Amino acid sequence: MQLINISDIEVKSRQRSSIATGPLNELKDSILNVGLLNPPVAWQDPNTQKWVLVAGERRLKALIEISNTPGLTFKCGNTTTGGGLIPITPLGDYLDDVGRFEAELDENVKREQLDWQDRARAYAALHTMRQAQNPTQTVHDTAKELSQKAGMAVDADGGARSTHKIVTQSIVIAKHLNNPKVALARNAAEAVQIIYKQEEEKILAALAKRQLASLPADGKPDIEIRRADLFALLPQLEGDTFDLVVADPPYGIDASSPGFRARTVHHHNYKDDLVSARNMATTILIEGFRLTKQRANIFIFCDIDLFPYLKLTAANMGWTVFRRPLIWMKSESEGLAPWGGQGPRITTEFIFYATKGQRGLNASPVDVFDFRRVSRNTRTHAAEKPVELLKALVNCSTLPGDRVLDPCCGSGSTLVACRDLKRRGLGIELDADYYNTAMANVFGTGVLDG
């Protein structure tokens, strides 16, 4: 142990991106009550003479806060200190940069484990360092080194094979952590699935675009998808054009919040507060009325709390509103349980319906649409609706050749229904990944296979 001034130690880039306040305060209380058992580890940079932290960042933060508080002291072994002096364990100069990096990683994994995002960065960085030292270094070599260090393997068997998978995943993930959807995944395995899915959709979308570009100049497709913000694009479209609007906007139920995300397998990666939901619904109703022909229909998927607002707003704009929501029966058993085991599971969703110019529906369907939701294994969008449900809505409200607008088309289910029913459709989607998915779903079959 060695006592140094707080001003003589510095913290450079670290593997752990954040330190929680709660555990830090608990550590401070423990140090004040029972003393510091293990000082932070640091090495002295010969160029600056500064001590550079290697391991024990949480302990260092706690010591700095204690030492900066007048009158507080603490014990480390038989030594009592405070007032700007802190103890460290000096690390000899026998370790190079890679060795010090490994020492920090070992500390992080053995004690409180890094978040999976930080762990992915650290494993990927360690492999890069090893390759710089030895260009022939393989992922297997790095994994074998990690598995041989006690506590370094991150799964039960501690074998190089499982650690090989972890290192491989980390290298892939580290390149995509600036992608919010990847960074918000619940674990590394889910992050890898998101990455692979996005790459697959990019390839399929590129193939779809290539196929569309090969059509004759006068062969304008009946279905079109534009990547754009509906708030910007809708006012630019020509009025009196569409026979039907089908919209599935955010519900305004905070589906993007951490609490909601923790209860769902597929995440809602879009803004879902009530104010934003109302603004989007209002724009769809206003622009939808302008863009539709003198006689047209509109369906909007919604939450029950948003339904009264849709009724009032639509009526004020000239729509003739069906006073009750239509019901989508999406499952007989699977559903979100907001109260856990103390409340019912939600297996239904609601659909707002209104008409313009008293067009009405071609037939008189019952107000409950019984179509199973898209299975978890094939669902690409958290709010994805089954194509058969969209076919039922499009079929009962339009005729072949009619034009349908979906201003937030997501994975493209409405446009697939239009394609299969020989309706013309325009879909708008802002999110690049969902746009790619829609392109693949709509043109990946039919046009690509055609």
One domain, residues 168 and 267: no
- Of the three residues 72, 90, 108, the one that is the final residue of a domain is 90
Collapsing DSSP states into helix, strand and coil, what is residue 427?
Answer: strand
> Could you tell me if 77 and 163 lie in one domain?
no
Residue 354 and residue 397 in contact, taking contact as beta carbons nearer than 8 Å: no
Q: What is the pLDDT along the chain (450 residues), one digit of tens a residue?
A: 788 888 888 887 655 556 667 777 777 877 887 788 778 888 788 788 888 887 777 788 888 888 888 888 888 888 888 888 888 888 755 455 665 565 555 555 445 556 778 778 888 888 888 888 899 988 888 888 777 654 444 444 444 557 788 888 888 898 998 888 888 888 888 888 888 888 877 876 777 677 666 655 555 558 999 999 999 999 999 999 999 999 999 988 765 555 544 445 444 455 668 899 999 999 999 999 999 999 999 999 999 999 999 999 999 999 999 999 999 999 887 777 778 888 898 899 999 999 999 999 987 899 999 998 876 666 555 567 999 999 999 999 999 989 999 999 999 999 999 999 999 999 999 999 899 989 999 987 433 332
| In a shared domain, residues 63 and 112 | no
Residues 72 and 106 both lie in one domain: no
Report the pLDDT value the prediction gives residue 342, as an integer from 0 to 100.
Answer: 87
Indicate whether 218 belongs to any domain: yes
Q: Within a domain: residue 293? A: yes
What is the span of the domain harbouring residue 102?
Answer: 97-175
Name the pTM for this structure: 0.60
**Look-up of token digits 């390149």:** 175
The count of structural domains within the chain is: 3
> What sign does the CA torsion over 366, 320, 301, 208 have?
positive
Query: Same structural domain for residues 133 and 282?
Result: no
Query: Is residue 185 one of the residues assigned to a domain?
Result: no
- Residues 331, 347 contacting (CB under 8 angstroms): yes
Task: From 90, 111, 141, give the residue that closes a domain.
Answer: 90
The CATH number of residue 66's host domain is 3.90.1530.10
Within a 13 Å sphere around the CA of 224, how many CA atoms are in the beta-carbon half? 11
Q: Is residue 450 in a domain?
A: no
| Residue 193 falls inside a structural domain | no
Q: Which of 205, 298, 283, 296 is nearest to 250 (CA)?
A: 283
Query: Does one domain contain both 379 and 433?
Result: yes
Please check whether residue 394 lies inside any domain of the structure: yes
**Rounded Cα gap, residues 6 and 308, in angstroms:** 61
Q: Look at residue 297 and tell me if it is in a domain.
A: yes
Shared-domain flag, residues 109 and 67 = no
Residues 159 and 305 in one domain: no
Helices marked H in 138-186: 139-147, 160-174, 180-183
Is residue 269 domain-shared with residue 327, that is, in the same domain?
Answer: yes
**Which of 90, 122, 140 represents a domain boundary (last residue)?**
90
Tell whether 399 is covered by a domain: yes
44 plus 127 within the same structural domain: no
Q: Determine the pLDDT at residue 150.
A: 40
How far apart, in whole angstroms, are the C-alpha atoms of residue 223 and residue 418? 8
| 429 & 338 share domain | yes
Q: Is the same domain home to 365 and 328?
A: yes
3-state secondary structure of 328: strand
The CATH number assigned to the domain holding 276 equals 3.40.50.150
